[in-house]
Structure 1
């Protein structure tokens, strides 16, 4: 999950290198297709490659979670600020814990809950520093409500994965689960792009754009989904999503590398809290695995 957080953090500057005016939903669907094609040869002949009816339905729900998150993220980006979205996104691990408890794939763990709160406070601190030490731009309107619904969908993804594993509906092979999640997500996001976007604008892609999308598909989608699925088989949904608190920390380090003048003490509190939360989470996960 540390590698996962690093890859996700590195994806943001890569997205910024794409040409302006390209349809985001269609680009996301293309990323998922590239990732699925890369994963397919690695899982050919693996157990559970052909899912049961219950498994196919669950993969559909997982794909819907991905489509809902990315769809609301792109839609809300025009109605709200990056600060509001970053602040709302820290709710995902806490939501995963609550939803996991609701469906029975999370155990009551006050220590984990405390770590989630600690990481959330640290991540909010990093968002505060990114905003120049002010929360004045924070608001809650239609855009924020839509993105929060997307955050709930994002939290449901590992919960559904864990539930499917517990019920025996999904393959035990992480690559197979990754493949079907990508396929279903690509279909639903691609359909959304056809209805709400301008897929014809993909014709304006340059070779450089295609190379960036291929990188995002292989590493920021295929590799990260595979890592998340591997972790989901071992960790609980809340513990898996909690490593997402490290993503803004990685983005912060990239920001300092590109603009050293942004380095200031206001970044320190959030950074320390995030690092402390991740260190304690790692210690907890290693301890639990050694006892298993």
Structure 2
């Protein structure tokens, strides 16, 4: 008689935090890989292909969950989560041509605080002073790193139509873990992180791919080289499948604000890569932001440490 399949137990808070540390490293490493992809290729279509690769990689693991096939209401929630992914990536690619890099980096700092506020509205966060204080500290550190990267030049800091669109994308990004947490709390979503990741990425791939077909010259995909294809597979496996699985895994035990707080570590990882490639870029201007970001993450780890 075959053994019944059971859903894997959720991770402990410590395991979730360790997973999100790995998430920050993988996301930070993805930026150099993205820059190596040919600029002539359509970005929305490439993102859709990344999500397809990620979904295929998670297919076998997702199917092992006993309730991996969603019900009607679950499918609706997965569609909303996929819409969040489509909204963020679409806004990011559009804003890249209409907003400054410094403005976008500054606005992205708002995602954890947005996730906390949206989580309060969805009743998956608690009204308390500690987590918002930690998030504000991390935001100050991330802003410090953005300031150091711009060498204190705030001429590129502005708020126009491009920045407004990107801010809406940041709201979409913040809403993704809130919907995941809400769906888990109300038992609308599978307890399997692989199943939740698979369905949100698969639906996100369809939505982003549809936008690419409508607004991009998809025929440019024929210019993809073998190196581009290898980079796309790498990004699909590690920068999409693994990172979103780690995020969904952590969402089972952490709140949306705590999960998205690890966004503050991404510029820190990027800074370390910059120093490895260009040691001459090291300077005291980076120190305040580094200290604040690392302090915020340390406080976050201490906050969720089990008490004995």
Q: State the TM-score, normalized to the length of structure 1.
A: 0.98
Please name the residue that 1:97 is paired with.
116
Match of 1:49 in 2: 68
**1:14-25 equivalent positions in 2, closer than 5 A:** 14-25=33-44
How far has the Cα of 1:134 moved from its partner?
Answer: 2.1
Q: Say whether 1:204 aligns with 2:219.
A: no
Deviates more, 1:37-46 or 1:49-58: 37-46
Q: Secondary structure at the match of 1:16?
A: helix
- Asked whether the equivalents of residues 42 and 218 of structure 2 are also in contact (C-alpha less than 8 Å), the reply is yes
Displacement, 1:108? Answer: 1.1
In structure 2, what is the equivalent of residue 214 of structure 1? 233
Q: Who is 1:112 aligned against?
A: 131
Runs of 4+ in structure 1 off by over 2 angstroms are none
Unaligned runs of 5+ in 1: none
Please state how far the C-alpha of 1:109 moved relative to its aligned partner: 2.0
User: What is aligned with 2:267?
Assistant: 248
Which of 253, 260, 284 aligns to 1:265? It is: 284
Distance in 1 (alpha carbons) for counterparts of 2:228 and 2:175: 31
Match of 1:276 in 2: 295
User: For the residues of structure 2 that align with 1:222 and 1:150, how far apart are their CA atoms?
Assistant: 21
- Separation (CA, whole Å) in 1 of partners of 2:164 and 2:67: 37
Secondary structure at 2:65's aligned position in 1?
A: coil
Structure 2: state its 5+ residue gaps.
Answer: 1-19
Q: Is structure 2 residue 174 aligned with structure 1 residue 144? A: no
CA contact (8 A) 2:88 2:169 kept: yes
Give how far 1:45 is off.
Answer: 3.2
Q: How many residues align?
A: 289
Q: Deviations over 1:247-273 (max 9, x none)?
A: 000000001111111111101100110
State the match for 1:183 in structure 2.
202
Instruction: State whether structure 2 residue 147 is matched by structure 1 residue 128.
Output: yes
1:3 alignment counterpart: 22
Report whether the alignment pairs 1:236 with 2:259: no
- Encode CA deviations 1:200-239: one digit per residue, 9 max, x unaligned: 1111000110000000000000000000000000000000
- Contact 2:99/2:162 (<8 A) preserved: yes
Instruction: Specify the SS of the correspondent of 2:151.
Output: coil
Partner of 2:3: none
Q: Report the secondary structure of 2:254's partner residue.
A: coil
C-alpha deviations, 1:147-176, integer Å up to 9, x for none?
A: 000000000000000000011100000000
Give runs of aligned pairs for residues 11-90 of structure 1, distance below 5 A.
Answer: 11-90=30-109
User: Does the CA contact (< 8 Å) of 2:101 and 2:156 recur in 1?
Assistant: no
Show CA shifts across 1:74-115 (max 9, x none).
000001111110100000000000000001110112100000
Q: Distance in 2 between the 1:47 and 1:87 partners?
A: 42
- Cα distance between partner residues in 2 of 1:131 and 1:45: 47
Structure 1 vs Structure 2 CA RMSD: 0.8
Residue 59 of structure 2: SS of its match in structure 1?
A: helix
Q: Which residue of 1 aligns with 2:173?
A: 154
Counterparts of 1:43 and 1:242, CA distance in 2: 27
1: CA distance, partners of 2:27 / 2:294:
17
SS in 1 for 2:36: coil
The two structures have a TM-score, normalised by structure 2, of 0.93
